[in-house]
Structure 1
Amino acid sequence: MDVSRLPNHHPVPWDTNFDAMALGDMLARTAGRTPDAPLLQFLGRTYTYAEMLRDAQAFARALVARGIAPGDRVGLFLPNVPSYVAAYYGAMMAGAVVVNFSPLYSVEELAHQVADSGTRLLVTVDVPALYATAEKVLHGSALETLVVSSLSQMLPKVKGLALRLFKRSQVARVGYGADTLRWDALLEEGARAGETLPAVDAQSLALLQYTGGTTGTPKGAMLTHANLSINAQQTAGLNPFGDPAGEVFMGALPFFHVFANTALLNHAVVTGASIAMVPRFETKQVLQTIETYGATGFPGVPTMFQALLDHPDLAKTDLATLKVCISGGAPLPGPLREKFEAATGVRLVEGYGLTESSGVVSANPYQGMRKRGTIGQVVARTEVLLLDKEDPTVIVPDGVPGELALHGPQMMQGYWNRPEATKEVFVEHRGKRWLRTGDVATLDEDGFLEIVDRIKDMIAVGGFKVFPSQVEDVLLNHPAVKEALVIGRPDAYHGEIPVAYVTLNAEGAATGEELKTWLNARVGKHERAGEVVIRSELPKTMIGKLDRKALRAELQD
């Protein structure tokens, strides 16, 4: 089925041409057009496009002066704070490759990905938990430099002073020195530097965005400036509401996530819109921010919309400016969508994307026709094939479910230093290279996609991907545990939660509740199990491997 010939209910025609831009040039272009327009609204302080461009350029010049060369990796270990935006675009202006790290990472996770990516310099903030983790990685890895931004300096003056004076426990004691630098001092250094910034090719690598696979081994998706800038324009093309520069996005999604990178940050910058940003999702603060700044659009994950629906302040919050909410990162439950729309009067549409596709592949239209239970129509210039689930060299007939494969200008170049994994995830058809998603889908006569199954074992917990093998590995360290299988169980709030099934050693003595408590103290928040079930045996394949698929089937019967 040729998607370019199917009905298109998005405002921008499927065959629209987009500009491949370096992301630093994209910021400079918008700042040149509307320098005084707000880019960020952060807890009462406004940052204009001109201010963010100035800081990004200063950071870029400081990096060049300190020997960061084109292609070197610069890591961001940050929540949603203004220094993230300046560091993101600034590193790219220097020709460096940005590596996003989740603020939820443990020391071991951060150290592993710093080593895998070859990150030379890492930017963080003086929040105690983040700084403590980053400092340990600095002194226990090949990381060369740590740059620490100050949360109080990013706040309005009164709030910043109050934080320094009365909430000192919320500010880390940073050991500045030759390898640990102040963010503001580095920007001053860059502002004085006379270094010429390199010309950055739009086809060069811009971002390493770590994802996982069926084995749970983290892999860095290699995304170019062209991948990211075009996906931002594809996302902007979904907007039917007129002048996009007038939009105000609710910035609750974490910027380190590829969904936020495209749907929030790059989307805003390419159009001149603004972002009303919060450091992390807190329901009451998000509701206040929507009302205070007149947010018009809210990209989020299903758990965010469930939390808004559950909060007592929802009914008394003025949502009149909010035109649409866009749900991604995990399947959107139908009852949640219906209840949210009934309670707010705001349309909640479901979309779909992947780390490997720069973030956005498809969405239901913001106005007019949509189909419930689908992930909508693909964005412009994106092509779809449905492949045989057992043999990806075969295209299934029209109307038959198949593994969703994608071709478009936003698809990644491959996995960082993982040629075999790259080879496995791409397939050749019709003279083009197609990205295999691992999701089984159907495509109807109107071009609407529906995900009907999942080949991969990943568990989607509130927009985060949990890899069962990693949780299983932790469980197997318990002396009582012999075998472990972890699968996802549907959950009304999180979408899914991990549930572990274990067998015990002959001498093992532990209850399911004891194992759950032990496990959840050793994994990330999104990896915590909702239950640990002890069984006498677990299903196995004919060759003796634990059979996750059979366990799922057994539990569904």
Structure 2
Amino acid sequence: MNNQPWLKSYPPGVRWDAQITPRAVQRILTDSVANHPEQPAVDFMGRNMNYRELGALTDRVAAGLQQLGVGPGVHVGLFLPNTPHYLVCLFGVLQAGGTVVNYSPLDAANVLKHKIEDSQTDFLLTLDMAALYPQMAAMVGTTRLKKLIVGNLAEMSGAPEQVVAAMAAKGETVAIPSDEWHMRFAELIDNDGRYRAHGIDDPHEALAILQYTGGTTGLPKGAMLTHGNLSSAVEQVVTTGLGTPPMFEMGKERVLAVLPPFHIYALTVNLLLAVRLAAEIVQHVRFDAKAALRDITDKKLTFFCGVPTMFTAVINDPDAARYDLRTLKMCNSGGAPLPVEVGNRFNAITGTWLAEGWGMTETSPTGTFSPIPGKRKAGSCGIPHPGVTIKMLDLDDPTHYVPLGEKGEICIQGPNVMKGYWNKPEATAESTTFDGFFRTGDIGYMDEDGFVFIVDRCKDMLLCSGYNVYPRVLEEAIYQHPAVSEVAVIGVPDQYRGQSPKAFITLKHGASPFTLEQLQTFLKDKLGKHEMVRDLEIREALPKTAVGKLSKKDLVDEEARRRVAV
């Protein structure tokens, strides 16, 4: 059996065995500052910074943190939206010698408390926004947190006074106490930027980021992502873009950054990769389809990495045809499976293929990529990244891998795969195969050309009348309906069948609703009888996660509450 069938599918000039040298993550920034100091680095709310300015501000963050006692072994939390604060704080913590812990604004109080204690977070950086600060203020004095460092959106904008007034008028900011628990971000950076650099002996051992998984049951686990994991992930992506002809041009790319950076996908592609390429990062605090369309057109952006719901919103915007999206040359969809129809429509509108990749928090999050240029296969998330090996574990016998073409649990090995779960050796062991690969929990198969096809998550699989039913298959079929904008399928209890599929759907602008019977008629030649949707709910909007993925967990919880109420 061919153990590396993907080699034949690699694009011209790209090598799977390319040299990938791990290094300290902070060097990604310091190298770009040294080599491209005057290149535009950040465009945010009317303010522009070049790489020299970005580097100087980061140095001041590092120096300020060291004055507080941050160094090797000290964990610093980031509870920040998509602003320049995140960029300078991420690199600043690492330059100071500390470890970053990412926090999500959507976390419940008990989850935030768990992460603070479990990760041993001593200091935390946030903003005075009403959507952020109060959640962390509640943690002061009740957890191990020593100090909150609080900034504001205005200080990174081009018109601070106007932004302060506008946000205050809308009630979007809150007052911050002056006490021993708090420090202003402006105070933190009030220094000369001279910090003590810390060397890293082994990048694959040195912890850079604790990235908590979203887990559907129990409290989340912290994936230990090392400097070697993250720097290797960035180099894997860079390597795939340096083929013939090259996709990336150092110092010339312009990146639309709309994903929340506390998510590993956004952190790697929108921040670390962009800085590695000395690209200009156009940051939006939150995603808005109109604003994205406007900036792509007016600022001639070249990169746009997002999740399927964002691309769906862009192509379904009623004014999309008015904008020129032809400057885009690389767009990537990650975080969730990309519906085939969405990819095809995006290509028709922009002239650019919407590449799809697969990865996880635990893989930093590289794993597979779509070859551009080269062979493409509808429904596939691509082939393994340079240095990555993927196998499919037998679902019934975890001591064997299945042959090409057969479904199994996707298992991965590579320099991007995490060191393990923080303080959870048992969970690390359970997620490791007999030969040292990481067990992802995703079900898929690899074809004879090395292309990976995701069938579903193990935990998402439904058991209907004894048959395995994969929601992804149903969702792909439903997306073919001309009126459907978004769809998520979950299993609901069925006294006769055990489980039955229920579809939650939003409609395209101006589309007419339809009944369950009409949908079943449409799907009759696309699904097996055991797969047919048995329940339908059309909504104005579907719940989403912090990164914008459709949240099946919320739908499952809603259904459970509804059944209890009934």
Quick check: 2:5–2:449 contact (8 Å CA) kept in 1? no
Choose from 412, 417, 420 the match for 1:414. 420
Q: Which residue of 2 aligns with 1:532?
A: 559
On the 8 A contact 2:111/2:219 being kept in 1, the answer is no
Deviations 1:467-488 (A, max 9, x none): xxxxxxxxxxxxxxxxxxxx99
Structure-2 separation of matches of 1:448 and 1:216? 33
Correspondent of 1:447 among 431, 440, 450? 450
What per-residue deviation string (whole Å, max 9, x for no partner) do you get for residues 146-190 of structure 1?
Answer: 011111111102xx221223431222211132221111111114x
Q: Does 1:362 align with 2:368?
A: yes
Q: Please name the residue that 1:293 is paired with.
A: 299
Instruction: Verify the 8 A CA contact 2:258 2:283 in the aligned structure 1.
Output: yes
Q: In structure 1, what residue type is equivalent to 2:247?
A: F
- Write the distance in 2 (CA, Å) between the matches of 1:349 and 1:257: 19
Q: Matches of residues 94-173 of structure 1 in structure 2 within 5 Å?
A: 94-157=96-159, 160-168=160-168, 169-173=171-175
**Which consecutive unaligned segments of at least 5 residues does structure 2 have?**
463-470, 480-484, 496-538
Q: CA deviation at 1:130?
A: 0.2
Cα distance in 2 for residues equivalent to 1:388 and 1:341: 36
Unaligned runs of 5+ in 1: 460-486, 504-516, 537-557
Secondary structure in 2 matching 1:39: strand
Listed as ranges, the matches of 1:20-31 within 5 Å are 20-31=22-33
Note if contact 2:6-2:383 (Cα within 8 Å) is conserved in structure 1.
no
SS state at 1:529 partner: helix
Bigger mean CA offset, 41-50 vs 212-221:
212-221
Amino acid paired to 1:24: Q
After superposition, residues 236-275 of structure 1 pair within 5 angstroms as 236-239=238-241, 240-275=246-281
Task: Output one character per residue of 1:308-366: Cα deviation in whole Å (capped at 9) or x when no partner.
Answer: 11212311112121113211111111122222222332211211011000011111123
Q: Is the 8 A contact 2:7 2:16 kept in 1?
A: no
RMSD of aligned residue pairs (Cα, Å): 2.8
| Matches of 2:114 and 2:426, distance apart in 1 | 20
The CA distance in 2 between the partners of 1:448 and 1:391, in whole Å, is: 23
Rounded to whole Å, the distance in 2 between the matches of 1:174 and 1:390 is: 56
Task: Quickly say closer, same or farther: Cα 1:328–1:89, change in 2 above 3 A.
Answer: same
Which residue does 2:324 correspond to in 1?
A: 318
Partner Cα separation in structure 1 for residue 29 and residue 20 of structure 2: 16
In the alignment, is the contact (CA less than 8 A) between 2:393 and 2:409 conserved in 1? Answer: yes
The match for 2:519 is none
1:12-27, aligned counterparts within 5 Å? 12-27=14-29
Give the aligned partner of residue 180 of structure 1: 182
The equivalent residue for 2:200 is 200
Contact 2:9 2:374 in 1 (8 A): no
Q: Distance in 2 between matches of 1:79 and 1:283?
A: 18
Matched, 1:496 2:488: yes
What amino acid does structure 2 have at the position aligned with 1:270? R
Whichever residue aligns with residue 435 of structure 1, its letter is: F
Pairwise CA distance, 1:213: 4.2
- Quote the Cα distance in structure 2 between the aligned partners of 1:47 and 1:285: 21
Contact 2:18 2:239 in 1 (8 A): no
Q: Aligned pair in 2 of structure 1 residues 242, 52: CA closer, same or farther (>3 Å)? A: closer
Asked whether the equivalents of residues 332 and 495 of structure 1 are also in contact (C-alpha less than 8 Å), the reply is no
Question: What residue number does 2:353 align with?
Answer: 347
Q: Equivalent residue of 1:404, what SS?
A: strand
Residue 497 of structure 1: how far off its partner (Å): 6.1
Give the letter for the 1:393 counterpart: T
One-letter amino acid of the structure 1 residue matched with residue 7 of structure 2: L
Q: Does structure 1 retain, via aligned residues, the 8 Å contact 2:59–2:195? A: no
C-alpha separation between the residues in 1 aligned to 2:398 and 2:417?
Answer: 18
Cα distance, 1:502 vs structure 2: 10
Preserved CA contact (<8 Å) 1:392 1:427: yes
Partner residue of 1:92? 94
Cα displacement string for residues 502-536 of structure 1 (whole angstroms, at most 9, x for unaligned residues): 99xxxxxxxxxxxxx9xx99x99945438637669
Return the TM-score normalized by structure 2.
Answer: 0.81
Q: Distance in 1 between the 2:563 and 2:136 partners?
A: 40
Question: Which residue in the other structure is 1:226 paired with?
Answer: 228
In 2, Cα distance between the equivalents of 1:280 and 1:228? 24
Counterpart-to-counterpart distance in 2, 1:176 and 1:2: 61
Shift of 1:498: 5.8
Mapped partners of 2:81, 2:563: distance in 1: 40
Confirm or deny: 8 A CA contact 2:364 2:417 kept in the other structure. yes
**Equivalent-residue separation in structure 2 for 1:327 and 1:410 (angstroms):** 19
Match of 2:388 among 359, 378, 382: 382
Cα distance in 2 for partners of 1:367, 1:62 equals 46
Q: Which moved more, 1:330-339 or 1:28-37?
A: 330-339
Q: Which residue in the other structure is 1:276 paired with?
A: 282
* Closer/same/farther in 2, CA of residues 188 and 49 from structure 1, 3 Å limit: same
Partner of 2:523: none
Task: Among all aligned residue pairs of Structure 1 and Structure 2, give the percentage whose two residues are the same amino acid.
Answer: 37
Please state if 1:3 is matched with 2:29. no
Do the aligned partners of 2:254 and 2:302 also contact (CA within 8 Å) in 1?
A: yes
Give the CA deviation at 1:214.
6.1
Return the TM-score normalized by structure 1: 0.82
1:5 to 1:311, Cα distance in 2 relative to 1, 3 A: closer
Q: Summarize the Cα distance change of 1:394–1:364 in structure 2 as closer, same or farther, 3 Å threshold.
A: same
CA distance in 2, matches of 1:69, 1:63: 8
> Does the C-alpha gap of structure 1 residues 96 and 242 become closer, same or farther in structure 2, counting only changes over 3 Å?
closer
**What secondary structure does 1:196 align onto?**
coil
Of 299, 302, 305, 2:308 maps to: 302
Structure 2 equivalent of residue 477 of structure 1: none
